[in-house]
A and B are shown apart, each in its own frame.
Chain A
Amino acid sequence: MVEKADLFKNGKRLDGRGPMDLRPLKITAGVLDRAQGSALVEWGRNKVLAAVYGPHEVLPKHLADPPKAIINARYIMAPFSGQEEHGRSGPNRRSIEISKVAKHVFENAVLVDQFPKTMIDVHMEVLQSDGGTRVAGITAGAVALADAGIPLRDLPVGLSAGLIGEHMVLDLDKYEDNLGDSDMPMVILPRTGEILLSQMDGMLSRDDISKAFDMIFQGAQKVRDKQIEALRQSYERMAAQAQQGENNQ
């Protein structure tokens, strides 16, 4: 059983990370053949699969917005994803909320006016959860959108920061999220520094918030680098397959 006192000792966190360290992050783009774009994010013990379909005709038709595309974001946890109750009963208040905030993130990152009167589906399926799945889901969704060829202003990057006792730490896992004092997931566009999502659970002082913002903006660059690496590897895989095809002939 993990206690709150175990979370931060001698400058180290429960899993041995320093306050600014992220969990190991691996992103793979183009993992699904049938989807227009897809990505798998493995972030610590989180595993999130994202798939993008569209732009396509809006259904039901009354939802259509003639000047722009609408985003249909769906975040859901698999029934087997968590150690506890999350996801066991399918769509719930929490997944509806996260789908809604993710929709607003993508609406502000995609160049929606290029595809009037259409709909773009972004599915985020949490296969395994260990804290910070909404930011992992949005990070995966961003790579899937880029992989699908949907025009974006920038790749949205999600990351969370939070307070454990008096220590502000980055990228909280499940224990830090549940037993810590507060946490703040954020999604930003690194190029412009725009904040597309900022939520908070618990209490943070003005100084704490300012510190959390600084840490998130600093850490986000590492996440963006991984997103870019995933898209680059996807391209290199295609190029290698083409090369291999030529050698086999």
Chain B
Amino acid sequence: MKQLVFPGDKVADEPRRIPGCFVEDGKTYAANVSLQSDDHVVPLKGYYVPKTGDDIIGIVDEERFSGYNLALNSPYGASLSARDTRDELKLRDAVYAKILAVNEVKEAVLIEPQKLAQGSMIAIDAVKVPRISGRNGSMLDTLAKFTGSRITVGKNGIVHVEGGNSELAMKAVEKICRESHTSGLTERITKMLEEQTRKTGGQGD
């Protein structure tokens, strides 16, 4: 049974490390407005804070002599050394990369960059990324099957859509974000995609 918890509400009698919660006097309390079900506490809103090993999508927002600064849909940015990339990047280029390290003020260093081709992008709340991916990527598979688009999701909440019926894919991503906290979402999204593809008669170009 899911229930809403609010900042300051106790979620566990013992200290536990749960996203969106904090520990005080040996007990765990909610720090955000969140949905709690048994062991899970999922905040309704949140911010992306870079973490080592995360695969993210960054947007080039500054070119430096020795590399690039990227915006991450987060209060914090990341840097990419020119030595680590073969592509020459320009302002506003999108890059899929891995976070190699994060320093004490949460600034990230990126490696293994892949420049993303022209396409559409949308920035969503990072706490909704698991809903876009679905269990073992099931939601992404559904989206790809119906739209024929190549969808890349960064852990920081930037979604890149390329080819196929990208308009429908974006619409579905927006719907997932809007309704991420409701149950029966997968069925609703599948139904919507089925109806829309039937109307348009295919996956677009």
- Flag if B178 contacts A151 (CB, 8 Å): no
Question: CA–CA, A114 to B29, complex, Å?
Answer: 15
* B-contact 0/1 string along A35-65, CB 8 Å cutoff: 0110000000000000000111100000000
A231 touches B (CB below 8 Å): yes
Q: Which of chain A's residues have a CB closer than 8 A to the CB of B188? A: 246
A90 touches B (CB below 8 Å): no
- Flag if A155 contacts B7 (CB, 8 Å): yes
- How many CB-defined contacts (below 8 Å) exist between A and B? 89
Question: CA–CA, A148 to B24, complex, Å?
Answer: 23
- Flag if A55 contacts B47 (CB, 8 Å): yes
- Flag if B178 contacts A154 (CB, 8 Å): no
* B24 to A: closest C-beta gap in Å: 7
- Flag if A149 contacts B182 (CB, 8 Å): no
- Flag if A54 contacts B46 (CB, 8 Å): no
Q: Which of B180-205 contact A (CB under 8 A)?
A: 181-182, 188, 191-192, 195
A117 touches B (CB below 8 Å): yes
- Flag if B6 contacts A149 (CB, 8 Å): no
Question: CA–CA, A231 to B43, complex, Å?
Answer: 13
Q: Which of A140-157 contact B (CB under 8 A)?
A: 146-155
Q: Which of chain B's residues have a CB closer than 8 A to the CB of A80? A: none
- Flag if A228 contacts B6 (CB, 8 Å): yes
- Flag if B182 contacts A242 (CB, 8 Å): yes
Find the residue from B6, B49, B75, B127 having the highest chain A CB count within 10 A.
Answer: B75
Question: CA–CA, A249 to B179, complex, Å?
Answer: 14
- Flag if A152 contacts B8 (CB, 8 Å): yes
Q: Which of A204-249 contact B (CB under 8 A)?
A: 228, 231-232, 235, 238-239, 241-243, 245-246, 249
A117 with B105, Cβ < 8 A, contacts A149-B32, A235-B33 known: yes
- Flag if B181 contacts A116 (CB, 8 Å): no
Could you pull out 22 A-B pairs where Cβ atoms are within 8 angstroms? Answer: A54-B75, A55-B75, A57-B75, A146-B6, A149-B32, A149-B33, A149-B43, A149-B47, A149-B127, A151-B31, A151-B32, A152-B8, A152-B31, A153-B8, A191-B8, A231-B33, A232-B4, A238-B181, A239-B182, A241-B178, A242-B179, A245-B175
Name A residues whose Cβ lies closer than 8 Å to a Cβ of B: 36-37, 54-57, 66, 111, 114-118, 146-155, 189-191, 228, 231-232, 235, 238-239, 241-243, 245-246, 249
- Contacts A149-B32, A151-B31, A155-B6 supplied; 16 other A-B pairs, CB < 8 Å: A54-B75, A66-B105, A115-B75, A116-B104, A117-B106, A118-B76, A147-B33, A149-B33, A152-B8, A153-B7, A153-B29, A155-B7, A228-B6, A231-B4, A245-B178, A245-B179
